[in-house]
Structure 1
Amino acid sequence: MFKTLDDIGSGKRVLVRLDLNSPVEDGIVKDNRRFARHARTVRELVEAGHRVVVMAHQGRPGRDSFVSLDQHADLLAEYVEHPIEFVDDVYGDRAIDAIRSLDAGEVLMLENVRMCDDELPEKPPEDHADSEFVRTLAPEFDCYVDDAYSVAHRSHASIVGFPLVLPAYAGRVMAAEYEANSSIANRAFDGPVTMVLGGAKATDVIDVMSALDDEIDHYLLGGIVGELFLRAAGYDVGFDVGDGELYDHQWENNEERIRELLAERGDRITLPLDLAYETDADERAELLVDDVEKSRPLLDVGSLTVERYADIVEDSAAVFVKGALGVFEDERFADGTVGLLETIATTDCFSVIGGGDTSRAIELYGLDEDYFSHVSIAGGAYVRALTGQSLPGVDALAQTDC
């Protein structure tokens, strides 16, 4: 498919693209699992005696999260256990001077690549390869390593431009994410395949369900998506109460497709049996879906649903998760998401946990990642992989002639 770090050799000038995009609170960049994951790739490059220059992004122009990468350099250095210098420039004179001054085994991080005007426009790889950004920076390197699978669905300059002008390789995160997230299409499983689908983005879930047919034996639904499907099935849920805009516009946009999926695959779609809400005493309470008269937000699937879903998971050969089943950030309404993750962790099955929110629940509630086959740090790229869409970043690595 593509070459990896194993194919590089040693002693090269390496430009490596990571995804270190992180939450920012009051100007402070928060640590997350991306630093630990990408540290493996950087550490291997250092140990092989390469001169390593890191590109990464943070936020988008105009947003509070659009900040410098100086803090990222310090955070990544802790995980790599090796000093990482930082230069507040992407491809200007200061960046070029810093790159040329590197010795073997040293690491430099460039400034936020999205501060470069050439980076963000979605363009064909050939156009990006001809940008001033790529044409200026590429001659300073012997090869390019892409480890940023989570932005592989973006046709940005730092993702698709360099593989056309430099020998290109996949980092460890890129290779692992690609193998796990494409396994529905590329692997055969000896038993039922189950997909757990939740979260707030109904269109993403519907796209996944529409793209996957014979590959999936069971769909287990929850979150806002679960309510919308329950609404189509005739239950008094799946609409906004108060000032919310989570349900109604998604229902208008997706009602027809939801009804079609229920009609075509109703025997494989399992809907919640009960739902949880917050009482006037700020406590968790549950109601059967038959008894719900929605007058307040519904925040989790209920205990009967968790038991039903657990039974299906335990009989599965493979389980793929996209999206949370409830508002797990509030521990009162984490039973669905965390309970099912715990079942998956103790079941002898191939398991891929995808999407930023779901993987964050693993960290928040102290679950051990080692009990899952793969915990993805990708969001949009994970969805595109599940739906069989091409990923420009992966295609660029695979098609490079260098």
Structure 2
Amino acid sequence: MFKTLDDIGSGKRVLVRLDLNSPVEDGMVRDNRRFARHARTVRELVDAGHRVVVMAHQGRPGRDSFVSLDQHAELLAEYVETPVAFVDDVYGDSAIAAVRSLDAGEVLMLENVRMCDDELPEKPPEQHAESEFVRSLAPEFDCYVDDAYSAAHRAHASLVGFPLVLPAYAGRVMQSEYEANTSIANREFDGPVTMVLGGAKATDVIDVMSALDEAVDHYLLGGIVGELFLRAAGYDVGYDVGGTELYDHQWADNEERIRELLAERGDRIHLPFDLAYERDGERAEVPVEDVEKDQPLLDVGSLTVGRYGGVIEDSAAVFVKGALGVFEDERFADGTVGILESIASSDCFSVVGGGDTSRAIELYGLNEEYFSHVSIAGGAYVRALTGQSLPAVEVLCESAMEYESVSE
């Protein structure tokens, strides 16, 4: 297991990796829950008297979202409630000079690490540890803290290189996300375990179902994957109409696996009873047996929400991956929001994962405190559910075995 902030002494030079990747509109970085979450780790490091240097990424080269982190420094400072200086350099002379000028309790943010050529190539940690980026920056620090769980599935230099050359620790986001997202495989619950599965990426959902098998008692399906399973069950849904390109290629890729899952676990797979669509600008609903799909279906219906809610009420644990409808349109948010409200009102252990689904909580004013954990991870959450390795977590564990605690 990895070490955490509890294992670090005080007064260290700490390099901390956050994931502050955010939506960008007209060049302006939008505030989001990542800043508030990561601020806890930074605040704790500041309070312990460390010199704190933050690494983070934003976008990818060639995209409009690939911008400097100067705005991120300002946003993070608001949540940490202490100034966050910024230097437009990653590991060159300007960055090194700024790092060396820090006093105890001060925070510095380096420029977007993806502006460094060594960062993005997916390589083994050993190769990243030998990069100019890591070899130039690591000697300026006593230890490394990784709080970027949502990027933990990436084998990038800032995530996997530094733990091989510095004592490495998990920040509070990394720690809480890992514990919550692996609980479906690692914990025992006194009652049924339910998964709510939706969204647009059917292959991800099918991978989760295949990997978890006996760990889940009920699968409640909606979204694209719900339609595809309904199609396999003989209903007139689950194919592209009106110019959509969401169904047919995923059906071709997954038909055999969908039919196998229905045959093997049909008693545990719950399919929508009704679906919603747009009629004359308003929401309309239709039972699945009466559907003649000639336009997009945009949400599960109210009967489905009610019956799924009954399953959730009797569950000891509920895990959510993906939205059940196009919740960005308030007319078609009933499925996603209704299920989240059912979870919030129950006393089950609950984990809501995937960027879109967790965004619905914020968009519709639900209180995060009513859920056991709301994940800010997407790809890493899926990999955790499917039991796949997370490179950044693996190297934290390796570092824990390799290095003694830096506490004195």
1:144 and 2:113 are equivalent in the alignment: no
1:247-287 deviations in Å (ceiling 9; x for gaps): 111111111111111111000000000000001x2000000
Look up the equivalent residue of 1:340 and give its one-letter code.
Answer: I
Look up the equivalent residue of 1:116 and give its one-letter code.
Answer: C
Look up the equivalent residue of 2:22 and give its one-letter code.
Answer: S
1:376 and 2:375 are equivalent in the alignment: yes
- Partner residue in 1 for 2:320: 321
CA distance in structure 2 between the partners assigned to 1:52 and 1:231 by the alignment:
53
Q: CA deviation at 1:185?
A: 1.1
Identity of aligned residues (%): 86
CA distance in structure 1 between the partners assigned to 2:224 and 2:207 by the alignment:
15
- Partner residue in 2 for 1:355: 354
CA distance in structure 1 between the partners assigned to 2:113 and 2:386 by the alignment:
29
Q: CA deviation at 1:389?
A: 0.5
- Partner residue in 2 for 1:276: 276
Q: CA deviation at 1:358?
A: 0.4
Unaligned runs of 5+ in 2: 404-408
Q: CA deviation at 1:337?
A: 0.2
1:315-337 deviations in Å (ceiling 9; x for gaps): 00000000000000011000000
CA distance in structure 2 between the partners assigned to 1:286 and 1:126 by the alignment:
55
1:136-162 deviations in Å (ceiling 9; x for gaps): 000000000000000000010000000
Q: CA deviation at 1:242?
A: 1.7
- Partner residue in 1 for 2:258: 258
Q: CA deviation at 1:243?
A: 1.4
- For normalisation by structure 2, the TM-score amounts to 0.98
CA distance in structure 2 between the partners assigned to 1:246 and 1:295 by the alignment:
15
Aligned residues: 401
Look up the equivalent residue of 1:57 and give its one-letter code.
Answer: H
Look up the equivalent residue of 1:359 and give its one-letter code.
Answer: S
- Partner residue in 2 for 1:40: 40
CA distance in structure 2 between the partners assigned to 1:111 and 1:383 by the alignment:
29
Look up the equivalent residue of 1:262 and give its one-letter code.
Answer: L
1:287 and 2:253 are equivalent in the alignment: no
CA distance in structure 1 between the partners assigned to 2:236 and 2:316 by the alignment:
34
CA distance in structure 1 between the partners assigned to 2:31 and 2:89 by the alignment:
23
Q: CA deviation at 1:25?
A: 0.5
1:183-239 deviations in Å (ceiling 9; x for gaps): 011100000000000000000000000001110000000001100000011000000
CA distance in structure 1 between the partners assigned to 2:136 and 2:262 by the alignment:
53
CA distance in structure 2 between the partners assigned to 1:50 and 1:205 by the alignment:
42
Alignment of 1:2-401 (within 5 A): 2-279=2-279, 281-400=280-399, 401=402
CA distance in structure 2 between the partners assigned to 1:219 and 1:90 by the alignment:
45
Aligned residue for 1:10, secondary structure, equals coil
Look up the equivalent residue of 2:276 and give its one-letter code.
Answer: A
Look up the equivalent residue of 1:294 and give its one-letter code.
Answer: K
Q: CA deviation at 1:244?
A: 1.2
Aligned residue for 2:254, secondary structure, equals helix
1:56-108 deviations in Å (ceiling 9; x for gaps): 00001111100000000000000000000000000011100000000000000
1:91-136 deviations in Å (ceiling 9; x for gaps): 0111000000000000000000000010001100000000000000
CA distance in structure 1 between the partners assigned to 2:227 and 2:60 by the alignment:
32
CA distance in structure 2 between the partners assigned to 1:377 and 1:115 by the alignment:
24
CA distance in structure 2 between the partners assigned to 1:207 and 1:137 by the alignment:
38
Aligned residue for 1:76, secondary structure, equals helix
CA distance in structure 2 between the partners assigned to 1:71 and 1:229 by the alignment:
44
1:268-312 deviations in Å (ceiling 9; x for gaps): 000000000001x20000000000000000000000000010000
Aligned residue for 2:350, secondary structure, equals strand
CA distance in structure 2 between the partners assigned to 1:321 and 1:7 by the alignment:
32
CA distance in structure 2 between the partners assigned to 1:353 and 1:51 by the alignment:
34
Look up the equivalent residue of 1:258 and give its one-letter code.
Answer: I
Unaligned runs of 5+ in 1: none
CA distance in structure 2 between the partners assigned to 1:129 and 1:227 by the alignment:
46
CA distance in structure 2 between the partners assigned to 1:235 and 1:116 by the alignment:
51
Look up the equivalent residue of 2:81 and give its one-letter code.
Answer: E
CA distance in structure 1 between the partners assigned to 2:248 and 2:25 by the alignment:
31
Q: CA RMSD in A?
A: 0.4
- For normalisation by structure 1, the TM-score amounts to 0.99
- Partner residue in 1 for 2:406: none
CA distance in structure 2 between the partners assigned to 1:274 and 1:243 by the alignment:
23
Look up the equivalent residue of 2:196 and give its one-letter code.
Answer: V
Look up the equivalent residue of 2:215 and give its one-letter code.
Answer: E
CA distance in structure 1 between the partners assigned to 2:243 and 2:89 by the alignment:
44
Aligned residue for 2:213, secondary structure, equals coil
CA distance in structure 2 between the partners assigned to 1:43 and 1:348 by the alignment:
31
Look up the equivalent residue of 1:303 and give its one-letter code.
Answer: S
CA distance in structure 2 between the partners assigned to 1:353 and 1:344 by the alignment:
10
CA distance in structure 2 between the partners assigned to 1:111 and 1:350 by the alignment:
39
